[in-house]
Amino acid sequence: MDSASGETTVPWGDPQFRVVVASTLAGVLGVTLVTPIVPLLPAVLGVTDSTASLLITAYTLPGVFFSPVAGVLADRHGRRRVLFWSLLCFSLGGVAVLLAGEFTTVLLLRGVQGMGASGLFAVAVTLIGDTYEGVQRNAALGANGAAISVGAAVYPLFGGAIATLGWKAPFAVYAVGSLVALWALRAVEDVPVENPAGGFAYVRGALHALPVGAAVSLYGTAIVTFVLLFGGVFTAIPFLLARAFTGPVTVGGVSLAPSALIGVVLTTNALTTAVVASRSGPLAARYTNRELLVFGLAAYGLGLVVGWAGGTPAWLTLGVLVVGAGQGLILPPLDASVSDLAPRRYRAGSLSLRTSAAWLGTTIGPVLFTTLATVTGYRLLLLGGGLGAFAVASVLSRTGPSRWVGPVDAD
């Protein structure tokens, strides 16, 4: 079911697209729903702060390694089957935490969840690449990216409210993944993928099909953006804000605790990303994918430099907003470009590597920034991250095969 390449509207009428968005929204629950729980664990379980943070790392780390595996399976055995089992693994791994006794068991189950999430994210984006072409592919990816950002903005509030019933209570919400899995069996068209090769023959074929220059540029861009997002925006800036707020702050006549205000600032980042990503279709009709990536990286650089230069809560908030706009510019054309890198029979594999790159950046970012901050401080790291984003934007604007310069070429 290929859509016209010039269509800029989001295909909400397509049941398969609705399943893709539902799968994405389920997957986003993996981190954002339980983020409010992490600060509670030291007091509840008697663990250290760093041990408590493993609740997130145990979920994100498997994606680095299992996303490519899921991509290979989706290319070899079909998208619907892998999406179904990924959703089921994600869902059951989360719900099983309710029955876990030791925290070690909880972490193992979070790893199972992460394995499932790595598959569902990779296959969801692959289905968009399979089904739509040209500008409408960007529009669909933009809507999917906007769903991720809305979930990132809303789920922490939801998870925090449920956690008042007990720190394990939010894990019951993951049962929704099983419902989406059953929906996927009915709505996803499992079109056979012509790819008889297996094992090393598949790997050789996939590597041969990928243009090296474009692949390095796009996967590198994914790693850089997620390192800066999770290291700069979600780690460095909250620490800077926490040090700036020594007590409750009155905003519009309402007194907010520092933690609540930090949450509001981070929510604005996600909402800005959602707004910009939702306009991806019209933007892709006017600019090439590479231009949008360069604009997005430049926005990243500007936002981080603004945060460094101002240093005050107001300037840091402005920087967060600008970075959010950059993220909204980057995600849809990045996935659209990766979708077009290789033939359809290798598309899930190429997109799974993009997912793996994002998981890698998500895992590295916080560790990198907190480690370097012991020497440089967080504020100087914002300057370094901003200059790094400008450098990558400059390189990307002058390099890259013509194959991915246009909005998206058909297979």
Instruction: Please give the share of the chain, as a percent, with pLDDT higher than 70.
Output: 86
Q: Would you place residue 228 in the very low, low, confident or very high pLDDT band (cuts 50, 70, 90)?
A: very high
- The tokens for 297 are 């990286």
How many Cβ atoms sit within 10 Å of the Cβ of residue 201? 11
Amino acid, single-letter form, for residue 56:
I
Spatial distance between the Cα atoms of 377 and 388, rounded to a whole number of angstroms: 17
Residue 89 pLDDT greater than 90, yes or no: yes
Helix, strand, coil % over all residues of the chain, rounded to 5: 80, 0, 15
Q: Which tokens in the block code for residue 1?
A: 């079911």
Residue 78: per-residue pLDDT = 82
Quick: pLDDT tens for 186-215: 888 876 666 555 555 666 666 677 787 888
4, pLDDT greater than 60? no
Checking if the pLDDT of 359 tops 90, the result is: no
Q: What does 47-59 look like in DSSP terms, one character per residue? A: --HHHHTHHHHHH
Per-residue pLDDT of 119-128, as tens digits, reads 888 888 888 8
Residue % of the chain over a pLDDT of 90: 31
Q: For the ranges 60-64, 73-77, 197-201, which has the lowest average pLDDT?
A: 197-201
Strand ranges (DSSP E) for 17-89? none
Q: How far is CA 189 from CA 81, 179, 410, in A?
A: 10, 18, 20
Q: Where are the chain's structural domains?
A: 15-404
Going by C-beta distance under 8 Å and a sequence separation of 6 or more, which residues neighbour residue 389?
224, 228, 297, 298, 300, 301, 304, 326
**What local confidence, expressed as pLDDT, does residue 303 receive?**
96
Q: Domain 15-404 has what CATH class?
A: mainly alpha
Q: Which of 79-83, 175-179, 245-249, 368-372 has the lowest mean pLDDT?
A: 245-249
Round the average pLDDT of the chain to a whole number and report it: 83
Instruction: With a cut of 90, say whether residue 305 has pLDDT above it.
Output: yes
The predicted structure's pLDDT at residue 143: 87
pLDDT the model gives residue 37: 80
pLDDT tier at 259 (50, 70, 90 boundaries)? low
Question: How far apart are alpha carbons 392 and 397 in whole angstroms?
Answer: 9
In this predicted structure, what is the pLDDT of residue 411?
Answer: 40
Phi/psi at 2 (nearest 5 deg)? -95, 130
Whether the per-residue pLDDT at 334 is higher than 70: the answer is: yes
